[in-house]
């Protein structure tokens, strides 16, 4: 039997102690959810959330697709993540931090409580932050980033974390869109042993159009050469010691926004995905418990950055809401060598390890035998996220890291879903390699055709979620119409608009779901989502560029790489070397978006393949980038001859 067809069953001893022990239990939960959807979710909300005041209704569908969950309920997410654990876990490690340079810190739940309360008091009393105000975080991976998020949650402010790799322009547009009152940053951070600066990026971002920002709070990590603006910039290190370590948690409504997180779409500028309080924290905690099956004395490590949803849900909110110990790592797993991650697993006796397929491929390639040098026997569950994992990477992860003992939970979800949606349960699901398997209990996922009918086994279709779920996106910040159009505008089932993820998937004869990737104009580079439209509009800022089309090209390490076709304004332009132009274009991208969006390939072409109505045929461009033969009918193009010319440019 080929490796990918084989089923990998959970270990019996593990299953016995797991929260969901077998497929019968899984089926029972699913049956319950199908028969009594509100009863099912209401049960879990009562079981898991420490309510200040009970909710009155589980699900309000009256203004679909603007669904409301647990309406009337009052809670506080920082109380759920910290205060309620103090009785039993006050001296338990909440966060274990390891910096790029090997510096270490352990923060207990009691210390976390004090730090978050001081932070909350600082924001509330000194910066006059009120419930509903937006706070932008532009932070490295340091414990203060988690304190800041939880402090916002404590006082009811809405945080919007912007990944530290985004440029000042990208930061500026997010600050403006959210109309943020405060920006929290650090002077700088470290990567591969070298310092890099963050505060100057904030300074540049705030130069124009950010009048909304009143204060900037800077966590100082001893980087020099910081410029301070009187009356605007404040040192966290100086102020925090003055604050009281008690701050009463704000009574938040279930549906008050908890945070915004900007993500790329297939068109236009990034959208501010808005999440709520109760539904989000409920599912963050439940998925943490079900997917990773973390036990009281376990140590759990997710390698994501808090700038992405994975960092929000599975470094901060999920682990802390269940009272777990979460590891926060500033560095990269290949520095100082490709054994860094394995060394940390040995040292901290990590029990659950969660990372992206790209990281696995890089570690496999750069240090195939590194894992052998370390004791990885503490590991119980391995996870992947962000992109499809390929069978060779899966096999290495399973054999060399998990020692053939640990189930691999391949988790499919999105910024918009808030938490896991489709993945194996480590104690129950027989796993097929590189397959997300089944929806979690309570999640109604289906693979459909455009007309809303199910695909047959083995046929590719569109991955949809047919019922609302508690941690779902509530709206796009300031743009409810775009929310409706982006997610509920394409597919209907039984006459009702349903959530369409933008991903394609295949269901096999056993009902297993395999994700095939985006079917829209979004590319996935190393598990990071980038809209082609966004990269294109950045490239268009270069004065010599007339037209541009960006596509994803399969890449053995990154999953996809960015491939741009560019038409110059004046073909005879004595612009100079093509290499020089390529460099300049990437500089423009780095300035507008950040280094993560730089193109791997840029080809200057005489024209783009367009239909008579002017639509760029990206499928043709994707095929050319891959070096594939063109199978599409090109006779309907405005200029069919352009295809051969583009092919010649790419090959030449």
Query: Closest CB to ligand WT7 among 213 and 359?
Result: 359
Name the minimum Å distance from CB 436 to ligand WT7: 5
Q: How far apart are CA 527 and CA 541, in angstroms?
A: 26
Query: Taking CB under 6 A as the rule, does residue 586 contact ligand WT7?
Result: no
With CB under 6 A as the contact rule, the residue among 189, 217, 436, 623 that binds ligand WT7 is 436
Number of residues that bind ligand WT7 (CB under 6 A): 24
Query: Closest CB to ligand WT7 among 371 and 502?
Result: 502
Query: Closest CB to ligand WT7 among 388 and 452?
Result: 388
With CB under 6 A as the contact rule, the residue among 205, 515, 593, 604 that binds ligand WT7 is 515
Q: How far apart are CA 327 and CA 104, in angstroms?
A: 11
With CB under 6 A as the contact rule, the residue among 276, 351, 501, 526 that binds ligand WT7 is 501
Longest dimension (CA), the chain: 74
Query: Taking CB under 6 A as the rule, does residue 486 contact ligand WT7?
Result: no
Q: Which of 557, 245, 542, 267 is nearest to 387 (CA)?
A: 557
Name the minimum Å distance from CB 333 to ligand WT7: 17
Name the minimum Å distance from CB 163 to ligand WT7: 10
Q: How far apart are CA 184 and CA 145, in angstroms?
A: 9
Query: Closest CB to ligand WT7 among 117 and 411?
Result: 411
Tell the residue number behind the tokens 């390699």, with chain if given: 433
With CB under 6 A as the contact rule, the residue among 89, 174, 364, 518 that binds ligand WT7 is 518
Query: Taking CB under 6 A as the rule, does residue 414 contact ligand WT7?
Result: yes
Name the minimum Å distance from CB 533 to ligand WT7: 16
Which residues sit opposite 302 in a β-bridge? 354
Query: Closest CB to ligand WT7 among 99 and 333?
Result: 333
Question: Which of these ranges, 77-85, 150-158, 410-418, 644-652, lies near ligand WT7 under the rule CB under 6 A?
Answer: 410-418
Backbone angles phi, psi at 56, to 5 degrees: -105, -25
With CB under 6 A as the contact rule, the residue among 203, 387, 521, 534 that binds ligand WT7 is 387
Name the minimum Å distance from CB 261 to ligand WT7: 9
With CB under 6 A as the contact rule, the residue among 263, 303, 471, 475 that binds ligand WT7 is 263
CA 271 from chain centre, in angstroms, equals 14
CB-based contacts of 573: which residues, under 8 Å, 6+ apart?
544
CB-based contacts of 131: which residues, under 8 Å, 6+ apart?
155, 156, 157, 250, 252, 256
With CB under 6 A as the contact rule, the residue among 411, 429, 471, 586 that binds ligand WT7 is 411
Show the beta-strand stretches assigned E in 466-621: 475-476, 492-493, 496-497, 499-507, 513-518, 522-525, 528-531, 545-555, 559-568, 601-604
Q: Which of 539, 541, 565, 557 is nearest to 625 (CA)?
A: 565
Query: Taking CB under 6 A as the rule, does residue 203 contact ligand WT7?
Result: no
For every residue of 381-450, DSSP letters joined together read EEEEESSPPPHHHHHHIIIIISTTTSPEEEEB--GGG-S--B---TTTPPB-TT--BSBPTT--EEEE-T
With CB under 6 A as the contact rule, the residue among 319, 386, 424, 468 that binds ligand WT7 is 386
Per the CB < 8 A criterion, the answer to whether 119 and 145 are in contact is: no
With CB under 6 A as the contact rule, the residue among 213, 219, 306, 309 that binds ligand WT7 is 309
With CB under 6 A as the contact rule, the residue among 310, 334, 351, 471 that binds ligand WT7 is 310
Tell the residue number behind the tokens 């991208």, with chain if given: 589
With CB under 6 A as the contact rule, the residue among 15, 321, 415, 429 that binds ligand WT7 is 415
Name the minimum Å distance from CB 178 to ligand WT7: 18
Measured at CB, which residue is nearest to ligand WT7? 415
What distances in angstroms separate CA 344 from CA 87, 224, 301, 358, one per listed residue? 30, 30, 10, 19
With CB under 6 A as the contact rule, the residue among 144, 255, 256, 503 that binds ligand WT7 is 503
Query: Taking CB under 6 A as the rule, does residue 318 contact ligand WT7?
Result: no
With CB under 6 A as the contact rule, the residue among 325, 437, 524, 532 that binds ligand WT7 is 524
Tally of CB atoms within 10 A around 224: 8
Q: How far apart are CA 76 and CA 83, in angstroms?
A: 10
Tally of CB atoms within 10 A around 83: 17
Query: Taking CB under 6 A as the rule, does residue 532 contact ligand WT7?
Result: no
Query: Taking CB under 6 A as the rule, does residue 305 contact ligand WT7?
Result: no
CB-based contacts of 425: which residues, under 8 Å, 6+ apart?
18, 20, 26, 290, 291, 293, 409, 440
Question: Which of these ranges, 128-136, 192-200, 385-393, 577-585, lies near ligand WT7 under the rule CB under 6 A?
Answer: 385-393
Q: How far apart are CA 48 and CA 322, in angstroms?
A: 9
Name the minimum Å distance from CB 271 to ligand WT7: 11
Residues that bind ligand WT7 (CB under 6 A): 263, 308-310, 385-388, 410-415, 436, 501-503, 515, 517-518, 524, 527, 529
């Amino acid at each position: 039997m080929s490796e990918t067809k084989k089923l990998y069953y959970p270990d019996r001893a593990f299953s016995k102690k797991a929260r969901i022990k077998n497929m019968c239990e899984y089926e029972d939960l699913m049956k319950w959810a199908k028969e009594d959807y509100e009863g099912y979710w209401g049960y879990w909300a009562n079981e898991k959330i420490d309510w200040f005041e009970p909710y009155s209704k589980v699900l309000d569908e009256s203004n679909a697709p603007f669904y409301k969950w647990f309406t009337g309920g009052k809670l506080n997410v920082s109380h759920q993540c910290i205060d309620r654990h103090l009785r039993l876990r006050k001296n338990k490690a909440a966060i274990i931090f390891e910096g790029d340079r090997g510096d270490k810190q352990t923060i207990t739940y009691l210390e976390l409580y004090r730090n978050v309360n001081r932070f909350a008091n600082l924001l509330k009393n000194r910066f006059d932050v009120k419930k509903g105000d937006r706070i932008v975080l532009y932070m490295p991976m340091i414990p203060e980033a988690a304190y800041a998020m939880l402090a916002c949650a404590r006082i009811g402010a809405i945080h919007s974390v912007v990944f530290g790799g985004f440029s000042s322009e990208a930061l500026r547009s997010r600050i403006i869109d959210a109309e943020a009152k405060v920006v929290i940053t650090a002077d700088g951070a470290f990567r591969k042993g070298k310092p890099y600066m963050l505060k100057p990026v904030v300074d540049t971002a705030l130069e124009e159009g950010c009048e909304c920002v009143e204060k900037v709070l800077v966590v100082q990590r001893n980087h020099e050469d910081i410029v301070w603006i009187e009356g605007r910039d404040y040192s966290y290190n100086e102020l925090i010691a003055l604050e009281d370590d008690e701050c009463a948690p704000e009574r938040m409504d279930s549906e008050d926004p908890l945070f915004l997180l900007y993500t790329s779409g297939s068109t236009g500028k990034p959208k501010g995905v808005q999440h709520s309080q109760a539904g989000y924290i409920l599912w963050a905690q439940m998925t943490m418990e079900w997917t990773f099956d973390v036990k009281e004395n376990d140590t759990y490590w997710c390698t994501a950055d808090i700038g992405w949803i994975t960092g929000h849900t599975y470094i901060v909110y999920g682990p802390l809401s269940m009272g777990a110990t979460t590891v926060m790592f500033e560095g990269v797993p290949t520095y100082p060598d490709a054994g860094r991650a394995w060394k940390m697993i040995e040292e901290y006796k990590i029990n659950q390890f969660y990372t992206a397929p790209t990281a696995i491929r890089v570690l496999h390639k750069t240090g195939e035998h590194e894992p052998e040098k370390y004791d990885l026997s503490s590991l119980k569950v391995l996870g992947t996220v962000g992109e499809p994992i390929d069978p060779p990477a899966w096999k290495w992860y399973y054999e060399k890291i998990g020692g053939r003992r640990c189930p691999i939970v391949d988790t499919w979800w999105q910024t918009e879903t808030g938490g896991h949606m489709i993945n194996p349960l480590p104690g129950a699901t027989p796993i097929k390699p590189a397959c997300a398997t089944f929806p979690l209990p309570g999640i109604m996922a289906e693979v459909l055709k455009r007309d809303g009918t199910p695909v047959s086994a083995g046929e590719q279709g569109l991955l949809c979620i047919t019922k609302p779920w508690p941690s779902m996106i509530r709206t796009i910040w300031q743009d409810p119409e775009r929310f409706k159009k982006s997610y509920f505008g394409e597919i209907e089932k039984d006459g009702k608009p349903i959530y369409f993820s933008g991903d394609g998937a295949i269901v096999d004869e056993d009902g297993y779901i395999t994700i095939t990737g985006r079917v829209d104009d979004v590319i996935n580079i190393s598990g990071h989502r980038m809209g082609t439209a966004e990269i294109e509009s950045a490239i268009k800022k270069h004065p010599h560029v007339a037209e541009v089309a960006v596509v994803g090209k399969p890449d053995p390490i990154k999953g996809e790489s960015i491939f741009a076709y560019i038409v110059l304004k004046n073909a005879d332009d004595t612009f100079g070397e093509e290499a020089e132009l390529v460099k300049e274009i990437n500089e423009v991208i780095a300035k507008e978006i950040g280094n993560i969006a730089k193109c791997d390939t840029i080809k200057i072409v005489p024209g783009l393949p367009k239909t008579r109505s002017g639509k760029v045929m990206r499928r043709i461009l994707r095929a050319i980038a891959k070096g594939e033969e063109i199978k599409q009918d090109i006779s309907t193009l405005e200029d069919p001859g352009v295809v051969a010319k583009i092919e010649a440019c790419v090959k030449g």
